[in-house]
Amino acid sequence: MIIALAQTKGGVGKTTLAVNLAIERVIRRHRDVLLVDADEQGTATDFASLRGERLGGTGFTLVQLTKGTSVRTQIPTLREKFDDVVIDAGGRDSGALRAALTLADIAVIPFQPRSFDVWTLDKVASLVADAKLVNPGLRALAVLNCADPKGQDNAAAAEALADNPEIAYLDCPIGRRKAFPNNAAIGLSVFEAGQPDAKACQELERLADHLFTTPLSTQ
């Protein structure tokens, strides 16, 4: 399974969700995971080095592929060697993001319904439409990140996606929780803190289960 965290906008949680999903697969499912850092900002790579120094190993394999051609040529070979591939792609409309969308089974598009993210969904939808010409099996799913704990964002999110022809809404919201930045700052996933944030863990597990194991349920 290839999951690409894809958004043309930065700061929406692509890297946060990519590294936490990758580690979730390693810790809970004992999968052999390849994490591809396809964002030239290199945040996933920085996270992996910090994690490696702290733990003596990351638990997953990281490759940095920031050019469209390297994504396109290397991932088809690499995917054969791993159980799951998670790609951290985007931050802008790049060749690497476009290439990732042509290879992924699922594009996960983190967004917040009450911000400018809603407008960027149209841009992402057109990238998804282009990618489907060569990758017709691609499923694009918008996931709420930094969601309102009272749950009001859910209705707003579903509404924002209702008329989008390319992107479906996956009802697995991730709340705004300090555990994400606090743990990432020390190279850890939300599962690995001394006292893990139970809600952050539950939300992440639920998202991972929907993406990787259970048949996709969308609204």
Where are any strands of DSSP class E within 75-129?
84-90, 106-111
Site string for ligand ADP, 80-99 (x = CB under 6 A): -----------x--------
DSSP string for residues in 56-68: SS-SSEEEE--SH
Which residue from 43, 41, 100 is spatially nearest to 75, judged by alpha carbons? 100
Nearest to 95 by CA among 60, 71, 123: 71
Find which of ligand ADP, Mg ion, none residue 145 binds, CB within 5 to 8 Å per kind. Answer: ligand ADP
CA distance linking residue 175 with residue 207, whole number of Å: 12
Residue 10 binds to ligand ADP (criterion: CB under 6 A):
yes
CB of 123 to Mg ion, least distance (A): 17
Minimal distance, residue 215 CB to ligand ADP, in Å: 25
End-to-end CA distance of the chain: 22
Site string for ligand ADP, 168-207 (x = CB under 6 A): ------x-xx--xx--x-----------------------
Instruction: Choose among ligand ADP, Mg ion, none what residue 177 binds, the Cβ cut-off being 5 to 8 Å by kind.
Output: ligand ADP
Residue 181 CB, nearest approach to Mg ion (Å): 12
Q: Which residue carries 């597990």 as its tokens?
A: 205
User: Rounded distance, CA 98 to CA 90, Å?
Assistant: 9
3-state secondary structure of 24: helix
* Residue placing its CB nearer to ligand ADP in the complex, 91 or 187: 91
Comparing CB distances to Mg ion, the nearer of 50 and 158 is 50
Q: Rule CB under 6 A: which residues touch ligand ADP?
A: 7, 10-16, 43, 91, 145-146, 174, 176-177, 180-181, 184
